[in-house]
A and B are shown apart, each in its own frame.
Chain A
Amino acid sequence: MKRVTLYRAASLIVVAGLTFCAAMMWRPSIDPLAQAPTMDDASVRRGARVAEQGDCAVCHTRPGGAYMAGGLPLVTPFGTLYTTNITPDRDTGIGNWPPEAFARAMRHGVSRDGHFLYPAFPYVHYSRMSDADISDVYAYLMSVDPVPARAPDNHMMFPMNFRPLVSFWNLLFLRDDRLADLPDRSPQWNRGRYLVEGAGHCSSCHTPLNFIGGEKNSEHLSGGQVDGWNAPALTGMARRNNPWSTEQLVTYLRAGVAGHHGAGAGPMLPVSLSLAQLPETDVQAIAEYILSLDGDTPTPAPDCAATRTAAIPAPSAATTGTETPGAASTSAAPAFAQGEALFAGACAGCHGGGAPMRTIDGRPGLSVVSAATASDPRNLIKTILEGIPMSARAPSHYMPPFADSLDDAHIAALAGYLRSHACAATPWPDLLETVHTLRHEGQSK
């Protein structure tokens, strides 16, 4: 008798559990629109600005592909995803999505037909946006050219290829709360916070992820990694040895070259080209908020200032046709002789002390730029390997790639030499292995 009761209780629990799971993992389909909606022009214009704040096109446009038509591969630790078509094409895009389906996708990560979207789509951040912004960006997306394009199939590993499991991930990481202004802060700071934590979804890259791909909230904006690049800490930027000013950060964020720090490269370049389209007031708000963030970074950057030399000399000025102040007095240690020669032949034309880009444009020397003073060499090596592509969206900086002209040993020697000028006290270890790894990571995509 007792045993039967136990069985009953157990089966009740199982049934309740299954019902709970089914309810967790099931979302209704929302009826498609019968015909294309008519959009208010003012809303479309406001939405264009929100779309730039959210960098939608950075992921939803593949290189050489149509605007917002998706198809960009996103390599995650759980497999490769392809971004979807968010043009108003009715068959392959979101053309038959009513506004409430779009808002549900933005706030809860659920597609119109009820399937769960993967959190690579940053709905955990978009959920913090205002209703007005979400409805405006909907209006804008419904107004772009419809393009028929179906994304390739995702290649997600088991069990992540079973989308309903995302509902449990959402239970842990999705807070559906709109961001409320803090009364004791200025309107500009609140605006910056809204853009950074909401549409801008900065922490998607700049916060470290835990083992199931959720952001570690205890280390918010303390730096992460994306596509092999370091997304540096955004905390404590105003209080570093080489602090960022608001003006420098605004310049950097709008795809310019920031004095004493450098310029956007890698995955940050398209983001900054997007921000460059915004009214400057938006970017100033972002900069004010970021520079207000406290710097209890777990691993503070080493103090490079103490060891830094004024500028990297161009030892063989003859090859660049320029005079280099200090070239005669500073000579590299034998360990850095190869790096010094490589710098002179490959880099000094632009980065040498006498190069026109330095003397006329006033660009910072490599001994102070973030890529050379950072605690790890990833971004410097990635920049040397891949360069910085020319941009069609706005005038911006450019650098040729060196992956095919310099081998791993050359790049390691070059990075070691540059480090000796930027931060001699803390040389980067294992450069050769790091170059090798980063080169092959890049090729696997």
Chain B
Amino acid sequence: MITLNVNGTDHSLDIDPDMPLLYALRNHLQLNGAKYGCGLGQCGACTVIVEGKPVFSCVLPSGAVAGRAVKTVEGLGSADKPGVLQQAFIDNQAAQCGYCIAGMIMRAQALIDTVAAPTDEQIRTHMAPNLCRCGTHLRIFAAIKAALATGVKG
């Protein structure tokens, strides 16, 4: 049994310690926000926050997450009541196909949580590991700036 703390709730799961966190989230906790993209830690679609840091959940064994706080996009808000950053993504229509967006939001949230007023260069550098095939980077960038402008950490 492995106990995962996700979005503030403990879950005891009967899974192997080598199961990537992404599979545990999607297949065992029905948290389908994080996506399977490349499975190799190259694209960022699976990004979640572990202990404040954005990480690729597809290459993170569940056994290494036991006892550490995991936050997924579901922890930021819901469709009915989106969080500040989620609302900014909606307002800026930052999603095209949407596959990368949950990962983008979580990486951006980690920056907002830790840096009070990031520069444009800091935002770009921080977001670089996450790829978007549709090319909505400018809208994603605008959404992050809009969320920062509200002054609410989310």
Contacts and interface: CB of A to CB of B under 8 A. Distances in A.
Our verdict on whether A and B bind, yes or no, reads yes
Nearest to B59: A346
Contact of A342 (B23, B42, B61): B61
27 contacts: A64-B121, A315-B18, A319-B16, A319-B19, A319-B20, A319-B23, A338-B63, A340-B18, A342-B18, A342-B63, A345-B20, A345-B60, A345-B62, A345-B64, A346-B20, A346-B61, A349-B59, A398-B42, A400-B41, A400-B42, A400-B59, A404-B51, A404-B53, A404-B54, A405-B50, A405-B60, A406-B60
Contact of A316 (B16, B40, B50): B16
A117 interface: no
A341 B61 contact: yes
A346 B39 CA distance: 10
A400 B41 CA distance: 6
Interface string B41-69: 11000000011011110111111100000
Interface residues of A, number: 24
Interface string A342-357: 1111110110000000
A407 interface: yes
Interface in A386-438: 398-400, 402, 404-407, 410
A346 B16 CA distance: 13
What's the dominant secondary structure at chain A's contact region? helix
Contact of B61 (A344, A350, A398, A407): A344
By size class, the interface of chain B is 20 to 34
A341 B21 CA distance: 13
B135 interface: no
B59 A341 contact: no
B9 interface: no
Given A345-B59, A400-B42, A400-B56, A405 B18 contact: no
A121 B40 CA distance: 39
B64 A316 contact: no
The 6 closest A-B pairs by CB, nearest first: A345-B61, A400-B41, A404-B53, A344-B18, A345-B18, A405-B55
A345 B40 contact: no
Nearest to B53: A404
A340 to B, nearest CB: 8
A338 B54 CA distance: 23
B42 A405 contact: no
A319 B60 CA distance: 12
A316 B125 contact: no
A341 B55 contact: no
B17 interface: yes
A410 B62 CA distance: 12
B60 A349 contact: no
Contact of A349 (B16, B19, B40, B129): B40
